[in-house]
Amino acid sequence: MESETRQQWWTAGVDGGEERHRVVLLDEHGERVHSRWVTNRVDVIEAALGELLLELPAGARLRVVSEASRSLGGVLAQVVIRLGLELWQVNPKALARYREVEGQPRKDDDRDGWLVGRMCIAGVAGCRKVLDVRPEERVLSRLSRLHAQLQLKRTAALSQLRARQLDLAPEALATDWEGPVFASKGMLAVLTRWPAWVGLESVRVATLERLLQAAARRGGRSRTMAEALKAAAQRVAMDTTERAAVAIEMRVLVQEIQALDASLAEVTTELRHAVDAHPIGPKLLTMAAVGYLTAAALIGEVLPVARNVSEGKAATFAGLTPLSRSSGKLQGRARLARGVNKHALRALYLSALAAIRCSALDAAYYRKQRARHEGHPKAHVVAILALARQRFKVVYKLLTTDAVYDKETLIASHLDRERKAAVRYHRAA
C-alpha cells in the first residue's frame, strides 16, 4: 500500500473523436505539460503513447483516461491495454457536471481532455479504472448485449405491427378470436403474403388452410382459423388508398421481424458455443434458472469485476445492493448509485423471476421475503431483488472459485438455517 502511495503518476487525458483524439498530458500535480492531436489509428496511437512514455521522469508511470472504452475509445483502449498501461474511464454525465463546476460554458476538446485527466487525479466520483477484460469475456459481453438490443427492436416492431392491425381489424386481437394468434408464425405467414389482408377476402379457405398448416402445424384447427381470417378480411372497412399505405407499413414491419428472428437465431447459436467453450459456462448452466443468456451476461459483465473485488462490491456493481444517491432532507424517490451495470441487473432479475417457478428452494425464499415486506408498494419486486441477491452469493463462488453447484448441499444448508431459527424462536418465547 505504501509503495502504491509513493508511486508517481503522470496522466494523459483523452477527449475522443471519430477521426482524431485530443490528448492532454498532466504531471503528478495535475499541471498541464502539453497537448496534441492524435489520429484514431492503431499505429499512430502507439507512436503517440510511446512518445509520452519517453517524456516521463525516472520512476514515473503513465495512465490514460478517456470517456469510453468502446466505440469512440475502442481502438485507444485496445492499444493502451496491449501496452500494459493503466486505463481509466470517466462517466460522460460526471464529466458534464464537473465541466459545470469548473465554469466551462461549452464543450471544448482541449479543455475536456484536461478535465478528464484532472478528474482521475482528484479521484472524482464517476472515474473508475477499466479492468483488463479477457477476449472470451468481451465476446460474451458483446453477444449478450447484441441479443438484448435485437429483442428490444423486435418488441418495438411487433408493437407497431399490432397498432396497424388495430387500425385494420381489431377483432384479430380479441381474446375470443378464433384465427391465428397475433405475431404467431401463422399470422406472420399470412401478412407476408397478404399485407393489410389485401386480397385475402377472395382467397379460398383451402389455400389459407394449407398455408397455416405449413407455417404453424396446427392440424385440425387450421380450417377454423382460415375461416375466421377470411370472414374478418371481408369485414374490413378501411379506404382502399389508405389500406394500400398500411400494406406497405405492414410489409416493412413483417420483413423487419423476420430479419430480426434470423439474426437472433444466429446470435443465440454463437452465444451457446461461446458459453459452452468457457470453463465457467457449464458450471453456471447447472444452477437453477440459469440459461445461456444469463450465463453469457454473468461471464461477460460480472466476471471481470468479480475477479478483482469482494462479493458485496460485485453485487453492488450488478445493482442488487444499490447505494442511494439521496442525502440530507431530500424528498422523493432515491436513485441508484452510479456504476450499476444494467445488463447484469436485468439478467440476474429475470433469472430470479424464473427460479421462483422451477426451484422449490428459491420459491420458499421468495415467499419468505414477500411476507417480510408485506405492505410495501412493490413487495413483489423487492422480494425478487432479495432472492437475486441471495442467489448472487452462489453465482459469485461459481465465478471466482473452483466450486460447483450442488443443489443438495444448498437444501441441507437451508433446512439447517430454518431449524436454528425455529430453536431461537422457541427459546425467546
Place of cell 502511495: 5
pLDDT at 2 exceeding the cut of 50: no
Question: In 3D, which of 83, 92, 86 has the Cα closest to residue 15?
Answer: 92
DSSP H helical ranges for 56-182: 74-82, 92-101, 109-122, 135-168
pLDDT at 75 exceeding the cut of 80: yes
Which three cell numbers mark 162? 399490432
- pLDDT per position as a tens digit, 99-117: 888 777 677 899 999 999 9
E strands, 283-361, where? Answer: none
Model confidence at 198, in pLDDT bands (50, 70, 90)? very high
Model confidence at 4, in pLDDT bands (50, 70, 90)? very low
Q: How much is the average pLDDT of 198-210?
A: 93
Which three cell numbers mark 128? 473508475
In whole numbers, what is the pLDDT of the chain averaged over residues?
Answer: 89
pLDDT at 322: 65
Where are the domains positioned within the chain?
2-130, 140-272, 281-324+336-428
Cβ distance 244 to 215 under 8 Å? no
Give the pairing type, strands 127-129 and 86-90: antiparallel
Cβ distance 200 to 247 under 8 Å? no
Helices (H) and strands (E) in the chain, counts: 18, 6
pLDDT at 227 exceeding the cut of 80: yes
pLDDT at 218: 57
- pLDDT per position as a tens digit, 249-296: 999 999 999 999 999 999 999 999 999 999 999 999 999 999 999 999
String of DSSP letters for 15-69: E--SSEEEEEEE-TTS-EEEEEEEESSHHHHHHHHHHHHHHSPTTEEEEEEES-S
CATH superfamily, region 2-130:
Ribonuclease H-like superfamily/Ribonuclease H (3.30.420.10)
pTM of the predicted model over 0.95: no
Which three cell numbers mark 335? 436513485
Handedness of CA 367, 372, 375, 381 (dihedral sign): negative
pLDDT at 332: 52
Model confidence at 5, in pLDDT bands (50, 70, 90)? low
Helix (H) or strand (E) holding 237: none
Handedness of CA 332, 336, 342, 347 (dihedral sign): negative
> Residue 13's beta-bridge partner residues?
24, 65
Cβ distance 119 to 158 under 8 Å? no
pLDDT at 323: 53
pLDDT at 325: 47
Cβ distance 169 to 183 under 8 Å? no
CA–CA gap between residue 387 and residue 402 (Å, rounded): 23
pLDDT at 189: 93
